[in-house]
Chain A
Amino acid sequence: MSYYDFLFAIEVLVGGLLSGVMYSLVAIGFVLIYKTSGVLNFAQGSMVLFAALTFVSLVERGIPFALSLLITFAVMVALGFTIERIVLRPLVNRSPMTLFMATLGLSYIIEGAAQLMWGTQVHGLDLGIDDTPFEVGGILISSFDLLAAGIAAAMVAGLSAFFYWTRIGLAFRAVADDQFAALAVGLRLPRIWGTVWTAAGFVALVAGLLWGARLGVQFSLSLIVLKALPVLVLGGFDSILGAIVGGLIIGASEKLAEVYLGPFVGGGIEGWFAYALALVVLLVRPSGLFGQKTVERV
């Protein structure tokens, strides 16, 4: 391998790692909800679409950037509490599969509603970040990706601090640990779930803005849920650290595989490679890299 091939490989690797951060960004939203309520929220992708579409449509109607952001966040808060009230509360104590299927239905509703309200055309989204790649030691790095990675890191740090140093964060952890015990000591489950869904809505908003700036705001934005699922499986459904590491591994190996393995099988393997990789990891560790092992009782 010559020096330039080596540089190229590094460049692919770095690009992959950075795009992996974008996957993690979506995956964190899943982890938040899974940790505290045991629900695999398939609607996370449609929430990303909903948030991005709402924000873009407000900006296009001449509302200032900051105000649009605020309104969109308010809408996501309302959405989170509505979902808790209408969908989750009647389904308390039902099997996780039932709840998953409910979020599948939910994703249909949110997607449909978002597009019915704001139309189906593609919107461009300019966050004012210029996407000119710059060079570090002969390797091209996209500044946009780097900024996205920074935002993701800040968000993870913020969420972790929130989880560990605030009262409500403590309540989150209590609920995640044992719902019945949490109820017994007087924690209000509905309010906590509403808050968690709001937090997930906030993550969806951030992910929606970054992905939207990348791909344009359109229906396919909700399909990033399919990119996030293998990340979750790889990292474990209930670990924020897992979502980050999983995202990095998936992002890097996916790009490397596409470049070095793709030509042998005709390319286009990005659609399923992540799943195959996640499966291989699962066969060795059935609850992901960082997921909690379930204890089985009869």
Chain B
Amino acid sequence: MAVQALDAARVPIDWQRLALPAVLVVVAYGLIPAYASSYLVEAILLPFLALSLAAVGLNLLTGYCGQLSLGSSAFMAVGAFAAYNFNLRVDGLPLAATMILAGISAAGIGVVFGLPSLRLRGFYLAVSTLAAQFFVQWALTKFGWFSNYNPSGVISAPHLIVAGFPLDGATGRYLLSVTTVIVLTALVWRLVNSATGRNFIAVRDNETAARVIGVPVLRTKLLAFAISSFIIGVAGVLWAFTYLRTVEPAGFNLDRSFQILFIIIIGGLASMRGAFLGAAFIVVFPLVLSRLGAFLFGGLFDSGVLDMSQRIVLGALIIIFLIAEPSGLSALFDRLKRRIGSRSS
């Protein structure tokens, strides 16, 4: 810690590095709420924000700590259903507290299903995270209590009120979502650049070596599971409360888990920016493909064909990225920036 403090004091503030975040804040809080159409907010920005946050969470676990998880959407489900129940059963609980409690619930479940990671490596662990996926989905469907005995297991979002302001409109939900994402992303950013973050990377790169140099491997892994599940849980709350508004356990299926994994592969493992680039890609790509298909093939391109060709193109992209650009869109973005930079100077 002392070394870090010294570093911080010595390095002058880099204004160029602050320019991009500043522009993003202006866009996120100024331009979008003022000008974006409600279609843009409802159909693109809200799912984008929720998936980005989930990807940030999974990236922490898989990208930084090297523990492959195929159960992300189970933790989203835990977050969403926990938030629903806390809000329902505790009178007057502020929304922020609900979200934090939901995150803590997801973290708890995450630690339980992370426990096998203390003994297991690689594929054996990946398969055991599938247990979380199936168990959580089964429990939420089977026990009516979780959905307040709704006959089809569906939960609906409550009124969203923060400090007396109702946030039920599209813009309100967007502001809630974007603020949550920014706060949590900033915290994760701090974390990965701290000693703990370096422990994560050490465990990922060589677990035995990390143990030899004194990294508390077991604690580090469980911490990664806990924090990652916390973030994914909160992402689940955003998914359920700000984007879909009504969700059922079946909505958090294995395909959603794969989707989040694909986001971090396409965006770039172990990159904060990658989670956002990947999520933007995954949200926009089906819309572009359906427009393109309809344009090129007209009526031949029905929803069945669209669904299948979407799968094929997505699968092909995954393989292409793994072969040609293993660091994902994030690295592509960097190269592009460097090329433009070298041309202008």
Contacts and interface: CB of A to CB of B under 8 A. Distances in A.
Interface of A: 40, 86-87, 90-91, 94, 96-98, 100-102, 104-113, 115-116, 120, 226, 229-230, 232-233, 237, 265-266, 268-269, 271-272, 275-276, 278-279, 282-283, 286-288, 294, 296-298
Q: Which label, helix, strand, loop or mixed, suits the secondary structure of the B interface? A: helix
Given A226-B130, A286-B124, A102 B319 contact: yes
A123 to B, nearest CB: 16
Contacts of A101: 261, 265, 318, 322
A298 B322 contact: no
Interface string B302-329: 0011001111101111110011001000
Given A116-B305, A120-B304, A287 B208 contact: no
A286 B131 CA distance: 16
Given A296-B208, A297-B208, A108 B318 contact: yes
B312 A104 contact: no
B123 A105 contact: no
Contacts of A110: 315
Given A91-B322, A282-B124, A112 B308 contact: yes
Interface string B282-307: 00000000000000000000001100
Interface centre among A90, A104, A278 (most CB of B within 10 A): A104
Contacts of B206: 298
Interface in B267-294: none
Given A229-B127, A282-B119, A108 B135 contact: no
Contacts of A268: 138, 141-142
A108 B128 contact: no
Contacts, number: 128
Contacts of A265: 142
A288 B121 CA distance: 12
Interface in B89-125: 116, 119-124
B322 A102 contact: yes
Contacts of B322: 91, 94, 98, 101-102, 105
Contacts of B141: 268
Contacts of B140: none
A112 B315 contact: yes
B215 to A, nearest CB: 13
A287 B315 contact: no
Contacts of B323: 87, 90-91, 102
Interface string B117-155: 001111110111011001101100111000000000000
Nearest to B122: A96
14 contacts: A40-B123, A87-B323, A101-B265, A102-B322, A104-B258, A107-B315, A112-B312, A226-B130, A271-B134, A275-B127, A275-B128, A275-B131, A275-B135, A279-B131
Interface of B: 68, 116, 119-124, 126-128, 130-131, 134-135, 137-138, 141-143, 206-209, 212, 254, 258, 261, 265, 304-305, 308-312, 314-319, 322-323, 326
Contact of A266 (B122, B127, B142): B142
B54 to A, nearest CB: 17
Contact of A283 (B119, B126, B212): B119
A287 B120 CA distance: 8
A102 B121 contact: no
Leading 7 A-B pairs by shortest Cβ distance: A108-B315, A105-B318, A112-B311, A275-B131, A109-B315, A112-B312, A272-B134
Given A105-B319, A112-B308, A275-B130, 4 more contacts: A108-B311, A233-B127, A278-B131, A298-B208
Given A105-B322, A108-B311, A266-B143, A97 B122 contact: yes
A53 B162 CA distance: 54
B116 A116 contact: no
B130 A229 contact: yes
Contacts of A111: 311
A109 B121 CA distance: 28
